[in-house]
Structure 1
Amino acid sequence: MVNVEGLKNVLRAFRETEGMEKMLYTSSFFAVGPTDGGVVADESQVHHQKFFCTEYERSKVITDKIALQAASEGLPIILLYPGVIYGPGKITGGNIIASLMIERFNGRLPGYIGSGSDKCSFSHVDDVVSGHIAAMEKGRPGERYLLTGENASLVHVFDIAAIITRTKGKLPLISYPAVKVMKHQWAYSCEKAKAELNYNPRSLNDGLTETLEWLKSLGLLKY
């Protein structure tokens, strides 16, 4: 797996390089695991490993173990876990919120998972950047920090989008891998990052307003 071998190579280089004081490892909420049952997890949660929705999730769990083992051996590594990242940037498969907004506003075939009430934790890309800078300055080696944000359902996300744009529309077509992920909840608390890193994530309303305006400026949305 690229993620696994990549981290091993970076750890090896870190150990072999003199004068290195601290290392940030950017993981993912997938490494912490789902929060089914309405739980809002913190950094103490360990992935149950009963199932993996995607190979990406599996790789993140494996690399998380490697990073934590390195920390236990004294390597000054800080582990960071963003939520579902959204905001202006490249239009890629990983930018799922932008992709879903484009589908929704262009009237694609509707698709929905369950009642749509399962919650995920959303992280604006700029907040994730700020969290990384703060972790380099204030983070404690060996610690995990969830750089997450507002916990919300897809229903709530699209309700906000409808209010911002004053429009109505069909629900978006969702890819098969996303279906597997969205069958579960991924809600997390970022209180530790707020307390120790002065992490201050923006609201979904503010973040989506910026994201929708960006997509509109590219001609991908009309409202």
Structure 2
Amino acid sequence: MKVLVTGASGYLGGGICHALYREGHSIRAFVRRSSVLDNLPNEVETAYGDVTDLASLLEACNGCEVIIHSAALVEPWLPNPSEFITVNVGGLKNVIEAVKRTSSIQKLIYTSSFFALGPTDGYIADERQIHPGKFYCTEYEKSKAVADEIARQAAAEGLPVVLLYPGVLYGPGKLTTGNIVASMMLERFNGRLPGYIGYGNDKLSFSHIDDVAYAHVAAMHKGRVGERYLLTGENASFVDVFNLAANLTGTTPPSFHIPLWVLETYGWLSVFWARIIGKLPFISYPTVYVLKHQWAYSCEKAKAELGYKPRTLREGLAEVVSWLKSLDLIKY
């Protein structure tokens, strides 16, 4: 199949391209002129443009049979929050329009996020959950919830779209905002994050990058049009992650917990400083808002219908710390 991948230069987009290449598909990577393409297979064809520019999308779609729309602005905080709506909502609208106008397109695979379903405080959710919209921890979460409604409406109107919802992505490959687990391991093993984050009341669903990438390829063939699939994994807290990392590396786990109110204060100060120096902070107050809730999900539907096989957090984290050590970024 000829597959157009938006956001191909990103952490997940690059992983999807490699998965497609291994399966023998022809790939057209839709990227911006400023994108760094060193994470893509050499055989990938490139098409330059932006998801906010419909004309460039239409040109890139020509001759493609499937679009995998993984392009997104993934940050917990930005100085200009309207950028999230412009890219994550406006970009999806343009992709939907491009699908409608391109006769060769047979299916759209839309990469959403677990944030689009909303928090799960005290329970484990599945694909039937719709974001209640009562509050949003981050502007990113809000944009993905709005985009999710648009995608579901398009599906109801007959658009051949399959909706995918990855959990917290992690794994080797690229150090980006989207790979927060690797970033936290860097901070932890280099002494900049000496304590546990909170007291373990948070709960997140961790998804290995390779598992999610291959699930996108499976969704092309097995995904039922109009259906939603959670590509989540093991539900755990960051206390669990830090304990597991210590166990895997034979190092001593943290001896104290950093209360979330302390991190929230630090997050506000970091945002204040970021506005001055123009560099995005490692921890911002919206990140802490996320950690005040639980985001636990079941991926049984994806296992049954897509053949999704999420690895355990132990297996995945072992890869991450070994990868970081091989790059001489951490020592243990």
TM-score (norm 2): 0.65
CA contact (8 A) 1:36 1:185 kept: yes
Partner of 1:222: 331
Q: Name 1:69's counterpart in structure 2.
A: 153
Does the residue aligned with 2:165 lie in a helix, a strand or coil? strand
The amino acid across from 2:180 in the alignment is I
Greater RCO, CA 8 A, separation 6+: 1
Quote the Cα distance in structure 1 between the aligned partners of 2:118 and 2:93.
22
Extract unaligned runs of 5+ from structure 1.
Answer: none
Q: Distance in 2 between matches of 1:29 and 1:115?
A: 22
Cα distance change of structure 1 residues 148 and 77 upon mapping to structure 2, 3 Å threshold: same
Whole-angstrom distance in 2 between the partners of 1:137 and 1:157 = 34
SS of residue paired to 1:123: strand
Q: Which has the larger radius of gyration?
A: 2
Partners of 1:59 and 1:113 in 2: CA distance: 26
% identical equivalent positions: 66
- Does 2:260 match 1:175? no
Query: In structure 2, how many angstroms separate the alpha carbons of the residues matched to 1:153 and 1:42?
Result: 19
Whether 1:20 aligns to 2:129 is: no
State how 1:63-142 maps to structure 2 within 5 Å: 63-110=147-194, 112-142=196-226
- 1:116 and 1:73 map into 2 onto residues whose CA distance is 42
Superposed CA deviations along residues 100-151 of structure 1, whole A, max 9, x for unmatched, are 1111101114465542232110000000001101111100000000000111
Q: What is the distance in 2 between the residues matched to 1:42 and 1:192? A: 8
Instruction: Give the 3-state SS of the residue equivalent to 2:295 in structure 1.
Output: coil
1:217 shift after superposition: 1.0
The separation in 2 between residues aligned to 1:5 and 1:184, in whole angstroms, is 28
State the match for 2:228 in structure 1: 144
C-alpha separation in 2, matches of 1:182 and 1:108: 19
Per-residue deviation, 1:19:
2.4
* Paired position in structure 2 for 1:153: 237
In structure 2, the residue corresponding to 1:23 is in which secondary structure? Answer: strand
Whole-angstrom distance in 1 between the partners of 2:253 and 2:292 = 23
Distance in structure 1 (CA, Å) of the matches to 2:95 and 2:221: 20
- Structure-2 residue corresponding to 1:206: 315
Q: What is the Cα deviation at residue 155 of structure 1? A: 1.3
> Any idea what the Cα deviations from partners look like across 1:169-202, whole Å, max 9, x if unmatched?
5479771232111111000000000001111100
What is the number of residues matched between the two proteins?
Answer: 222
AA at the equivalent of 2:290: V
Distance 1:83 1:175 in 2: 19
1:3-42 residue pairs with structure 2 within 5 A?
3-37=88-122, 39-42=123-126
Q: Which moved more, 1:185-194 or 1:148-157?
A: 148-157
Does the 8 A contact of 1:22 with 1:136 survive in 2? yes
